[in-house]
Amino acid sequence: MFVSDDMSQRVSNRTRGFTLIELMVTVAVLVIVLTVAVPSFTNLINGNRLTSQANELLSAMTLARSEAIRLNRNVIFCHSSDSSSCSEPAGGEWAGWIVREQGSDTVLATGLMNNQLVARASSALAGSSFSMRYNAQGFIRHPNNNNLLSATIRVCSPSGRPNPNARDVQFISGGRVSITPIHDANCGTPGNS
């Protein structure tokens, strides 16, 4: 049988492209993948924010301790809203922190809290004007007296995601600092260590 070029052209034109059913299946698969992937990706980002902020606090406390031992002087870790002086947090939520030598204007380090997270201190740290003093032996003391100080700073994601949505940065008077993941739907004030 003889096939003309015109007829073969029509047959080949029909085989190109997608059918409506193929397109609908592709869109449905894409919607399912996005429905699963986007919340997981959001949880991953929020989890990384929490971990990063908690690790930053832990590093600042470790720096304060090591500098106190190295300098053989008292070093203060405290809340700061202006990155230069210690202050009480507005509404109990931390805006930032500083590490500085006690009795000096020398600031050794500063940091800001992520504005998408909430950070609150336990009552022991609130009772010490949101400050802690590392002495030359590396112990944590109340800044105005020689009492031992153990407390917690909670960094929390108000969105409730990921689960656990908070990290407790706990420190004890001996200088040990640890991070514990917890779930706190209300992002409340933590208990003391």
Give the model's pLDDT for residue 92: 87
Q: What are phi and psi of 191, to 5 degrees?
A: -80, 170
Task: For residue 97, give the CATH number of its domain.
Answer: 3.55.40.10
- What is the per-residue pLDDT for 31? 87
Q: What is the token pair recorded at 34?
A: 């996005």
Residue type, 124: A
Task: Classify residue 6 as exposed, middle or buried by CB count within 10 Å of its CB (0-12, 13-18, 19+).
Answer: exposed
Q: Is residue 102 part of a domain?
A: yes
6 is a domain residue: no
Beta-ladder partners of 96: 112
Considering the domain boundaries, does residue 48 fall inside one? yes
Residue 190 placed within a domain: no
pLDDT at 50 (0 to 100): 92
Question: Does a structural domain hold residue 189?
Answer: no
Using one digit for the tens of pLDDT, what is the confidence trace for 50-82? 999 999 999 999 999 999 999 999 999 999 999
pLDDT for residue 192: 82
47 within a domain of the structure (yes/no): yes
Which residue range is the domain that position 44 belongs to?
A: 19-182
Q: Which two tokens stand for residue 158?
A: 């108000």
Is the separation of the CB atoms in 61 and 193 below 8 Å?
no
The per-residue pLDDT for 20 is: 87
- Residue 146 in domain: yes
**Domain total of the chain:** 1
The span from the CA of 156 to the CA of 38, in Å, is: 21
**Distances 121 to 20, 48, 117 between C-alpha atoms, Å:** 58, 21, 14
- Give me the pLDDT at residue 81, please: 92
- Give me the tens of pLDDT residue by residue for the chain, a chain 193 residues long: 555 555 555 555 556 788 889 888 999 898 888 887 777 788 888 889 999 999 999 999 999 999 999 999 999 999 999 999 999 998 889 999 999 999 888 899 999 998 889 999 999 999 889 999 999 999 999 988 888 999 999 999 988 777 888 999 999 888 889 999 998 888 989 988 7
Q: Tell me the DSSP string of 36-59.
A: HHHHHHHHHHHHHHHHHHHHHHHH
In this structure, is residue 5 part of a structural domain? no
